[in-house]
Amino acid sequence: SDVYKRQVYYLLYGGFAIIGVVIHPFFFAFHLTDFVIRSQMMKNVIMSVWKPRSSLFFTVIMLVILVYFFTMFGYIVLYKDYKEWCQTMYTCLLYTFDHTIKENGGIGSTLERLNPIQYRSEVNLVRFFFDNLANILLIIIMLNIIAGIIIDTFGLLRENEINKEQDVSGRCFICGLQKEIFNRHASQGNGFQKHVERDHNIWNYIFYISYLRSKQKTDYNGVETHVNRLLQEKDFGWFPLGRSLSMREGP
Amino acid identity at 83: K
pLDDT tens for 1-30 read 678 888 899 999 999 999 999 999 999 999
Residue 223 CA to residue 221 CA, distance in Å, equals: 6
Residue 19 CA to residue 30 CA, distance in Å, equals: 11
Judge whether residue 250 has pLDDT over 50: no
Judge whether residue 157 has pLDDT over 70: yes
Number of H helices, E strands in the chain: 12, 0
User: Which phi-psi region, left, alpha or beta, contains residue 237 (left: φ > 0; alpha: ψ -120 to 50)?
Assistant: alpha
pLDDT tens for 85-128 read 888 888 888 888 888 887 666 777 777 766 655 555 555 778 88
Judge whether residue 133 has pLDDT over 80: yes
Identify the pLDDT of residue 5.
83
pTM of the model: 0.72
